[in-house]
C-alpha cells in the first residue's frame, strides 16, 4: 500500500457487534454505466465462501457491520471488502510494507491512528469508511477507482480484480447480493468499470463489420476484424493493451477463478484439443460480442459456457 492522505480527525469506535444480515431493506444502485449494479438485501447468509476461511469471513463481517452502523450503502461494503482482500487477504496482519498494519494496511505515519488502533478491525474499518465518504461522488465510481481514491496504492489497478469475490463475501456474511443488471446487448450495457464500459461500447460500434482473418479493423486499414483483433481494439480504446492472438490474450490473464460469476467486460475463450482458437467479449445477460468466423459479421450472440470448447475467461486490467 502506498502513502495515504492524513486526516485531522481521529475516529475511535468501540467494538460493534457483528450483525449478520442486519442491513437496510432497500435496493442500492452503484457503479453505473448504461446499465447498473444493484446490491439487494436478501435476508439470508451462507457464511461460507470457497477459498476463504472462518477468520477471514469474521473480519469481513466486522467490515460490513461497521459500514451498516455508519450508514454507508451496501456497494461501499463491497469496496471495503475488496480492499481488505487486496491489502491483507482479509487477515489482521501485524506487519506490512514500511509501517503498514491491519486489514487495510493503514500506516500510523500517515495519520491513520496508532498501531494499537489500526490493529482493531472495527477502528480500521471505520477509518476506511470515513475516508471513502470524503471522496466526492464515490458512489458513481468504479470499485477500483473508489478504492484507489482512499488507498493511494502503488498498484492502482489492483482492487477491481477482487470485485466478484467481495460481492460473494458480502452476500455470505451480510445477506446482500449484488447483480450486474442490463439486457446483455448493446442498448443497455452493464459495466462494472469505466474500462469495461469503453471496451463494450467500442465493440458494439463494430457490429456488422465482416470477419477478416488477421483483421484489425478500419482504423488500421482492414475491412473488419478477426476475434482477437476485435477484443484487442476494444480494450485498446480503453487504454488497456492486449496481445494480438486469442492464445496470447488467454495466457496474459488475469484469469477469472473457476466458478466465479462473469462480469461484463470479461473475455471468454474457446479451445480445441487444448489450443485456444477463439475469444469473445462478455456483455452480460448470457451474451458476448465477437467476430465469429468467415462469412459472418461482428455480432452479439449467446455466450457458450459449457461444451463447445469453452476453456475459461480473463478480466483485463490497466497496466500498473
pLDDT digits over 47-90, tens only?
Answer: 889 899 999 999 999 999 999 989 999 999 999 999 999 999 99
How many other C-beta atoms are found inside a 10 Å radius of the C-beta of residue 109?
Answer: 11
Look at residue 187 and tell me if it is in a domain. no
pLDDT digits over 249-265, tens only?
Answer: 999 989 988 877 788 89
- 152 and 232 within one domain: no
Look at residue 23 and tell me if it is in a domain. no
Residue 254, domain extent? 194-314
pLDDT digits over 117-170, tens only?
Answer: 999 999 999 999 999 999 998 988 889 999 999 999 988 889 988 988 999 999
pLDDT band, very low/low/confident/very high, at 14 (cuts 50, 70, 90): very low
Look at residue 186 and tell me if it is in a domain. no
137 burial type by CB count under 10 A (0-12 exposed, 13-18 middle, 19+ buried): exposed
CATH assignment at residue 154? 1.10.530
pLDDT band, very low/low/confident/very high, at 286 (cuts 50, 70, 90): confident
Give the total number of structural domains in the chain: 2
CATH assignment at residue 261? 3.90.1720.10
Residue 74: predicted pLDDT: 92
Residue 26: predicted pLDDT: 45
- 208 and 112 within one domain: no
Domain boundary among 180, 208, 240: 180
Look at residue 20 and tell me if it is in a domain. no
- 251 and 163 within one domain: no
The residues facing 40 across adjacent strands are 177
- 39 and 139 within one domain: yes
- 158 and 209 within one domain: no
- 260 and 164 within one domain: no
pLDDT band, very low/low/confident/very high, at 116 (cuts 50, 70, 90): very high
Prediction pTM value: 0.57
pLDDT band, very low/low/confident/very high, at 27 (cuts 50, 70, 90): low
Look at residue 10 and tell me if it is in a domain. no
Q: Is the pLDDT of residue 242 over 80?
A: yes
Query: What mean pLDDT is reported for the chain?
Result: 85
Question: How far are the Cα atoms of 65, 77, 139, 171 from residue 175, in angstroms, in the given order?
Answer: 11, 12, 20, 5
Q: Are 266 and 286 contacting, i.e. CB atoms less than 8 angstroms apart?
A: no
Residue 180: predicted pLDDT: 65
- 169 and 68 within one domain: yes
Look at residue 110 and tell me if it is in a domain. yes
Residue 43: predicted pLDDT: 76
Residue-level length of the chain: 320
Ranges of H-type helices in the chain: 54-69, 74-88, 115-118, 121-133, 143-151, 163-174, 194-204, 227-237, 246-252
The three grid cell numbers given for residue 51, joined into one nine-digit string: 477459498
Look at residue 11 and tell me if it is in a domain. no
Q: Quote the DSSP letter at residue 160.
A: G
- 215 and 163 within one domain: no
State the Cα–Cα distance between residues 153 and 2, nearest whole angstrom: 4
- 156 and 78 within one domain: yes
- 136 and 246 within one domain: no
- 298 and 159 within one domain: no
What's the average model confidence in pLDDT over 16-37? 43
Q: Is the pLDDT of residue 29 over 70?
A: no
Give me the DSSP letters along 169-208. HHHHHH-EEEEE-S-SSSSS---SSHHHHHHHHHHHTTTT
What's the average model confidence in pLDDT over 40-51? 83
Amino acid at each position: 500500500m502506498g502513502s495515504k492522505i492524513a486526516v485531522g480527525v481521529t475516529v475511535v469506535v468501540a467494538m460493534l457487534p457483528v450483525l449478520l444480515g442486519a442491513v437496510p431493506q432497500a435496493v442500492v444502485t452503484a457503479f453505473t454505466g448504461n446499465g447498473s449494479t444493484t446490491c439487494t438485501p436478501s435476508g439470508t447468509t451462507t457464511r461460507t465462501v470457497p477459498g476463504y476461511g472462518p477468520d477471514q469471513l469474521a473480519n469481513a463481517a466486522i467490515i460490513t457491520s461497521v459500514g451498516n452502523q455508519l450508514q454507508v450503502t451496501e456497494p461501499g461494503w463491497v469496496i471495503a471488502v475488496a480492499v481488505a482482500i487486496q491489502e491483507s487477504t482479509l487477515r489482521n496482519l501485524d506487519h506490512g510494507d514500511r509501517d503498514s498494519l491491519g486489514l487495510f494496511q493503514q500506516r500510523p505515519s500517515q495519520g491513520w491512528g496508532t498501531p494499537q488502533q489500526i490493529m482493531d478491525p472495527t477502528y480500521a474499518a471505520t477509518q476506511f469508511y470515513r475516508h471513502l465518504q470524503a471522496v466526492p461522488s464515490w458512489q458513481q465510481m468504479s470499485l477500483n477507482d473508489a478504492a484507489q481514491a482512499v488507498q493511494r496504492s502503488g498498484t492502482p489497478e489492483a482492487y477491481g480484480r477482487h470485485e466478484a469475490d467481495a460481492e460473494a463475501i458480502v452476500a455470505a456474511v451480510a445477506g446482500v447480493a449484488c447483480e450486474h443488471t442490463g439486457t446483455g446487448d448493446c442498448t443497455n450495457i452493464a459495466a462494472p468499470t469505466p474500462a469495461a464500459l469503453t471496451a463494450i461500447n467500442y465493440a458494439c460500434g463494430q457490429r456488422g463489420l465482416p470477419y477478416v482473418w488477421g483483421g484489425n479493423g478500419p482504423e488500421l486499414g482492414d475491412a473488419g476484424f478477426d476475434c482477437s483483433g476485435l477484443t484487442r481494439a476494444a480494450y485498446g480504446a480503453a487504454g488497456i493493451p492486449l496481445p494480438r492472438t486469442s492464445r496470447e490474450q488467454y495466457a496474459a490473464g488475469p484469469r477469472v477463478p473457476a466458478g466465479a460469476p462473469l462480469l461484463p467486460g470479461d473475455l471468454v475463450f474457446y479451445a480445441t484439443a487444448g489450443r485456444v482458437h477463439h475469444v469473445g467479449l462478455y456483455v452480460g445477460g448470457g451474451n458476448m460480442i465477437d467476430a465469429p468466423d468467415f462469412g459472418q459479421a461482428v455480432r452479439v450472440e449467446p455466450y457458450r459456457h459449457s461444451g463447445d470448447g469453452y476453456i475459461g475467461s480473463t478480466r483485463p486490467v490497466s497496466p500498473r
